[in-house]
Structure 1
Amino acid sequence: MAGPSIEDIMAMAQKAQEDLAKAQDELGKIEVEGVAGGGLVKVRATAKGQINGIEIDDSLMNPDEKGMLEDLIAAAINDARMKADHAAAEEMKKATAGMPMPPGMKLPF
């Protein structure tokens, strides 16, 4: 019994490439929200890591709280980044389901 032909392998590779490209496009549509300070600072970002917006509670608009505000913004961005990475990993897992991958190989490259 013969294995898949070279044409079959090429077609599978082409479909895999198309699925990955589609998944990459989807990452720009998935939005996550990073939060810090119990919701006083919120950062919206895409699963690709693009920051779409920042919300800061008015109570933090005090010059004496500048250092805390800066820390909360950094924490909210880091939270958004972690959530974006998780969402991207889940999306790529869907796109690569059933695709044989060598151990330790991660997508996107």
Structure 2
Amino acid sequence: MSEFDLGAMMRQAQVLRQQLESMQQNLDHEVVEGSAGSGLVKAKASGTQRLISIELAPAAMTEDREMVQDLIVAAVNNALDKAKSLQQQRVGNLIPPGLMGPGGFPGL
């Protein structure tokens, strides 16, 4: 029976923490794009779920104001969903299966 090595476990935890910090910094520079209304509205967000920009096609300006507002919300939500997915994928590559609970990694 092997002995429990707390020191080795702490070193592994430190390495994992450093990898997670590095991953989060990298995610801040990655960009995902969401869209709505067949591309009438596009939203870009960072991998850390920060909205970067919103782009309205000229044709969107001829639409009803409420519809454009709804399209903006849908495009932003689409971009943020993609950013969240990207985060989960990156964290999943670092953390061994079974260590991350169903809610994902807290703080990301």
Measured against the shorter chain, the TM-score band is 0.7 to 0.9
Q: Provide TM-score, normalisation by structure 1.
A: 0.85
Amino acid of the structure 2 residue aligned with 1:88: Q
Distance 2:75 2:68 in 1: 10
- Are 1:16 and 1:99, in contact at CA under 8 Å, matched by a contact in 2? no
Task: Report what 1:30 is aligned to.
Answer: 30
Which residue of the partner structure matches residue 14 of structure 1? 14
Pairwise CA RMSD: 2.0
- Residue of structure 2 equivalent to 1:70: 69
- The unaligned stretches of length 5 or more in structure 1 are none
Distance 1:99 1:23, change over 3 A: farther
- Distance in 1, matches of 2:9 and 2:98, equals 12
- The answer to whether the 8 Å contact 2:88/2:104 transfers is no
Within the alignment, does 1:84 sit opposite 2:66 as a pair?
no
Counterpart of 2:54? 54
Residue 104 of structure 2: aligned partner: 106
Q: Deviations over 1:22-80 (max 9, x none)?
A: 12112212211010000110000012111111110111223x62111101101101111
The answer for unaligned runs of 5 or more in structure 2 is: none
Is the contact between residue 43 and residue 76 of structure 1 (CA under 8 Å) also seen in structure 2?
yes
State the alpha-carbon separation in 1 of the partners of residues 65 and 103 from structure 2.
Answer: 43
Question: How many residues are matched?
Answer: 107
What is the TM-score of this pair, normalised by structure 2?
Answer: 0.85
Contact 1:29/1:46 (8 A) holds in 2: yes
Poorly superposed stretches of 4+, deviation over 2 Å:
1-6, 102-106
Letter of the structure 2 residue corresponding to residue 108 of structure 1: P
How many angstroms does 1:100 deviate by? Answer: 5.8
